[in-house]
Chains A and B, each alone.
Chain A
Amino acid sequence: MSDIIKQNLWDIIILNTSGPEAEWLQDRAASSPMDLMTAFVAAPRFLSKKIISVNPDQQFTLNAEIPGFSVEGWSLVRLARVWLLTQLDPSDKEDYVKNIETLFDTAEMNELVALYSALPVLSYPDQWLFRATDAVRSNMGFVFDAIALHNPYPEKHFSELAWNQLVLKTIFNDKPINFIEGLDNRANEKLAITLSDFAHERWAAGRSVPAQVWRLAGKFMNPTLLADMQHLFDSENVDDQKAAALACNDSSLAPANYLLAKYIDLEKSVKSGTLTWADLEH
């Protein structure tokens, strides 16, 4: 990984730690891999439990270095752990991978969160693919969030199958999909079709689907999805109607545009840009 990222992370740490805390981190980072790994584990015993503050410049720099990477809202321990991982010497690939794997194998929940948060800054990114898809299988909410939300790793490295699982499970878990990095870039037809099946199951059970998920459908409109759009327009839930209008507007198919044209007010707000998907991100 780049030295710039290491430095960026350290700059944020400096702003959020006391002198002794920063010294402890420096000291541990300069020690043997085993000591560094123990420091990764023991960090909560030496650092205060608090949420870090990041200034906009720092966030901008991080994002410029790794698009989509953010430490916003992290605890100090999480940030320090990720920074410690960047201090592991990657020159011997076998040792490096073994050490990170050991940390994964023995990790508790908060350590897993830190490890998954660190994937975008670790060396040998392909090595962590299985781990990353495993986190999507996790039933521990925070662990799942660490890979699925605000994390640029999946967008870059997941296969379509793995990506679709991630998105579907986010929806299934009732979490906001707008926090998934690369949602629009990785939109695909298979996902749109599966989404329709999923919605039908929910509707059959008398349950609902968050309106914003239909942003995944617009570009892949087909007769089935068009019927879903009609269902949404007919819904009593205003958000569903808005979602249908937005999705139809995203489509270049004539039938979608005809359908939208039937709902004059909605069409107007969509075309004028007063209604966007951001309005449904809640």
Chain B
Amino acid sequence: MCLNNNDISPNPSHFEDSEETIAAPAHRDVAWNDYKDLIKGMRFFDPHIHMVSRTTDDYQAMHQAGIVALIEPAFWVGQPRTGLSSFKDYYSSLVGWERFRSSQFGIKHYCTMGLNSREANNEPLAEQVMEILPLYIYKEGVVGVGEIGFDDQTPAEEKYYRLQLELAKSAKLPVQIHTPHRDKKKGTERSMAIALEHGIDPSWVIVDHNNEETVKSVLDKGFWAAFTIYPFTKMGNERMVKVVEQYGPERIMVNSAADWGISDPLAIPKTAALMKMRGISDETIRLVTYQNAIDAFSKSGQIDVTDFESGYAIDHSEKFHGNSILRGGQQPSPAKDSLVIN
């Protein structure tokens, strides 16, 4: 089990980064009322967010801010798993309970399935996980194999990364690559080289958690470049605006990767608002906060934009269950500012 990293980490979340970045947070407070008009009518697609760690308040705020669909990649959940059943239940929750929970808030939920790099280091368990993974990757709404790749860049991580690339190939699914926090540049290059070595078309691969140092090479090689807007430890959205100004919108997408750490499920709407303020065109904003993610993950054949493009209503999902009387149970919106609870 890969725990060495936790000993030195001030914040054992999805994203640790160098102290240098922590010392210079590229982040500032923006109140909903300050930016809601800037993004009025915009729709957003968050291609990387771990809703399993988020609250119903987050879901309501996301829906209000215009997020109509999201992708929840399978990852590690902070507490190392000790048995296959924990993996099984986690994978099932991504396509079961979490998907249902999301639908109650009017947000279409997709996921990617994979064995994360950290837990790939627990080889006896990783072997068992690989055996059941095929049962999950073919499920409805699974739009890729992910998030996979390197963490410590150990031989075990490489072994299971390669095995899962082959799995993605045979299932005809896109690949969502998690790039390492430490030694990122080399790790990113290595991840891409191995994908190419396995004969995977780079237009089927989303390289995630890019920064100014990695983006050029990723785009030059024909991969999709995803950027995670994550306070303190990752990209700030002001830096993101500069990246888009420099590289344009092609094959670039923004995500929040919000999880149990100090992260922001509204990272995409906020970034869109900031782009709007800085004079970036509506079309460019639409591409990097919505369309590009859809184009990349639609290769799975699992995304039907009519499910969410004009707002995802519970009635729509119901039609495939064949009974318009029955409610899957959309959550009512309580009045948050009211002292009286009914």
**Interface, chain A (partner B; CB < 8 A):** 37-38, 41-42, 44-45, 49, 51, 72-75, 77-78, 102, 105-113, 139-142, 145, 149, 173-176
Q: Which of A41, A45, A174 touches B301 (beta carbons < 8 Å)?
A: A45
The 7 A-B residue pairs with the shortest CB-CB distance, nearest first, are A73-B322, A108-B95, A141-B328, A42-B138, A44-B140, A141-B329, A140-B100
User: Given A108-B92, A142-B328, does the pair A49, B100 have CB atoms closer than 8 Å?
Assistant: no
Decide yes or no: A106 and B91 within 8 Å by CB, A37-B135, A42-B138, A44-B140 being known contacts: yes
List B206-239 residues whose CB lies under 8 Å from chain A.
Answer: none
B322 contacts A141, C-beta separation under 8 Å: no
Asked if residues B136 and A145 are in contact (CB atoms below 8 Å), the reply is no
> Restricting to B309-329, which residues have a CB under 8 Å from any CB of A?
319-323, 325-329
- Interface size class of chain B, counting residues whose CB lies under 8 Å from the partner chain: 20 to 34
List, in ascending order, chain A residues with CB within 8 A of B140's CB.
Answer: 44-45, 108, 110
Nearest Cβ on chain B to A169's Cβ, whole angstroms: 12
Whether B270 sits at the interface, judged by CB under 8 Å, is no
Chain B residues lying within 8 Å of A45, measured Cβ to Cβ, are 138, 140, 301-302
A72 vs B139: C-alpha distance when bound (angstroms): 24
A51 proximity list for chain B (CB < 8 A)? 319-320, 322
Chain B residues with Cβ below 8 Å from A145 are 321, 323, 326
Separation of A37 and B322 alpha carbons in the complex (Å)? 24
Q: Of the candidates A42, A73, A77, which one forms a contact with B323 in the assembled complex, judged by CB atoms under 8 Å apart?
A: A73
Listed by A's residue number, 23 A-B pairs whose Cβ atoms lie within 8 Å are: A37-B135, A41-B135, A45-B301, A45-B302, A49-B320, A51-B322, A72-B322, A73-B322, A106-B88, A106-B91, A106-B92, A106-B135, A106-B136, A109-B95, A113-B321, A140-B96, A140-B97, A141-B100, A141-B329, A142-B326, A145-B323, A149-B326, A173-B329
B99 within 8 Å of A (CB atoms): yes
By a beta-carbon cutoff of 8 Å, the part of chain B in contact with chain A is: 88, 91-92, 95-97, 99-100, 132, 134-136, 138-141, 301-302, 304, 319-323, 325-329
B318 and chain A: residue at smallest CB distance: A142
Chain A residues with Cβ below 8 Å from B136 are 106
Known pairs A75-B321, A108-B141 / 6 extra A-B pairs, C-beta < 8 Å? A38-B134, A45-B302, A108-B96, A139-B329, A141-B100, A141-B329
Closest A residue by C-beta to B91:
A106
Chain A residues whose CB sits within 8 angstroms of the CB of B139 once the complex forms: 41-42, 108, 111
Q: Chain A nearest CB: distance from B99 CB in Å?
A: 6
The interface residues of chain B lying within 8 Å CB-to-CB of A175 are 326-327
Expressed in whole angstroms, the minimum distance between the Cβ of B186 and any Cβ of chain A is 37
Chain B residues lying within 8 Å of A111, measured Cβ to Cβ, are 139
Check if B325 sits within 8 Å of A105, measured CB to CB.
no
Pair B320/A75 contact, Cβ less than 8 Å: yes
Bound-state Cα–Cα, A72 to B321, Å: 10
CB neighbours of A38 from chain B (8 A): 134-135, 138
Q: Which residues of B contact A75 (CB under 8 A)?
A: 320-322
Q: Considering residues A78, A105, A149, which has the most beta carbons from chain B within 10 angstroms of its beta carbon? A: A105
**B320 to chain A: closest residue by CB:** A75
Q: Kindly provide the distance from the CB of B89 to the nearest chain A CB, expressed in whole angstroms.
A: 9
Between B134, B304, B329, the greatest number of chain A beta carbons within 10 A of the residue's beta carbon is seen for B329
Q: Given that A75-B321, A105-B88 are known contacts, is A141 also in contact with B326, CB under 8 Å in the complex?
A: yes
> Are B327 and A141 in contact, CB atoms less than 8 angstroms apart?
yes
Chain B residue with Cβ nearest A38: B138
Point out the residues of chain A lying under 8 angstroms from B100, CB to CB.
109, 140-142
Contact A109 B99 (CB under 8 A): yes
Q: Which residues from chain B contact A72 at a C-beta distance below 8 Å?
A: 322
Q: How far is the CB of B164 from chain A (nearest CB, A)?
A: 17
Select the residue from A45, A49, A102 with max chain B CB neighbours within 10 A.
A45
Chain B residues contacting A142 (CB-CB under 8 Å) are: 100, 321, 326, 328
- A112 close to B329 (CB less than 8 A): no
Q: Which of the listed residues A75, A113, A141 has the most CB atoms from chain B within 10 Å of its own CB?
A: A141
CA distance A106 to B100 in the complex (A): 15
- A82 shortest CB reach to chain B, Å: 13
Bound-state CA distance A49–B322 (Å) is 12
A112 to B321, CA, bound (A): 12
Chain A residues within 8 Å of B323, by CB: 73, 145, 149
Question: What is the CB-to-nearest-CB distance from A45 to chain B, in angstroms, rounded to a whole number?
Answer: 6
In the assembled complex, the Cα of A244 lies from the Cα of B320 at a distance in Å of 37
Q: Are A109 and B138 CB-contacts (below 8 A) given A75-B322, A141-B326?
A: no
Q: For B88, what are the chain A residues with a Cβ–Cβ distance below 8 Å?
A: 105-106
Give B111's nearest chain A residue, CB to CB: A108
Write the nearest CB–CB distance from B108 to chain A, whole angstroms.
13
Given known A38-B135, A49-B320, A51-B320, contact A107–B326 (CB-CB < 8 A):
no
B96 — which chain A residues lie within 8 A by C-beta? 107-109, 112, 140
Find out whether the CB atom of A107 lies under 8 angstroms from the CB atom of B322.
no
Chain B residues, CB < 8 A from A49: 304, 320
